[in-house]
Amino acid sequence: VLSGCGVYDGTEIHEASAILVHLSRGGAEVQMYAPDVPQMHVIDHSKGQPAEAESRNVLVESARIARGKIASLAKLTTADHDAVIFPGGFGAAKNLSTFAVDGKDCKVNREVERVLKDFHKAGKPIGLCCISPVLAAKVLSGAEVTVGHEEEEGGKWPYAGTAGAIKELGGKHCVKEAVFSLIPFYEAHVDTKNKVVTTPAFMCETELHNIFDGIGAMVKNVLKLTGK
C-alpha cells in the first residue's frame, strides 16, 4: 500500500523498492494499491519546502513507483491476498493518516483503517516499516511494533520520539538493536499474536544496505506467517 512518491510527502521510494525486490525473491505475486485522495501537500524535495501552488493525488503519484500497475485502495480485499505491507515515508503520516499533524490524536484514512482491521480479523499478516507502524498502533490496540530506539543517541535515531507516540496511541513499542553480525542489520519485530511485522528502516541514520537487509527480514517474516 503506497502513499505517494517521495519521502517528504509520500512513499519512501527506496523502502518500496526494497520491499518489491524481497517479495520477488520470495516468490510472491504483488499488487499495489493507494488511496485515491489528494496529498496533504507537495514538497519540493530539492529544497525540502512545501510547493504552495501545487496539489497532487496520492494514487496518481504512487503509480510512478508501481510503473502504472496500481489500483485504488478501495478495491483491496483480504479474500484476494495473503498479506499486506506498508512502506514508510512521510506519506504514511500525512496521507494515510494525520499523524504528522495530530500525533496521538491522529485519524487514519478510512480505507487504510478498513484494510488493517480486515487483515487482522482474517488472521493474515501485516508488514510495516519506518514510520508506518504508527498506523497499526492506532488501529490495532495493543499491537507490538518497533520504530527502532527510544532515544536519539546523538542523531543516530532522529525520530526516536515516535516510540513514545506509539505508546500513547495504545501500541506497545519494542526496542530493536542494530546488530553487527551475519544476520540482517535490523531485526524485524514479529508480533505473533496480531501477525504484525515491523522494522525501523530509515528511522535510523545508517547505510542503505543495512536498511535493505532490515526490510528483507520484515518481508521474510511476513511471507513465513502466510504459511505458504
Q: Give CA–CA dist 8/130, Å, rounded.
A: 13
> From the candidates 5, 129, 130, 204, which is the catalytic residue?
130
Judge whether 130 counts as a catalytic residue: yes
Q: Which of 139, 133, 118, 108 lies closest to 197, judged by CA? A: 133
Q: Give strand ranges (E) for the chain.
A: 32-34, 43-44, 49-50, 70-72, 84-86, 126-129, 144-145, 172-173, 189-191, 196-199
Reported residue count of the chain is 228
Query: Degrees (nearest 5) of the Cα angle 111, 163, 195?
Result: 50
Question: Which residues are tagged catalytic?
Answer: 130
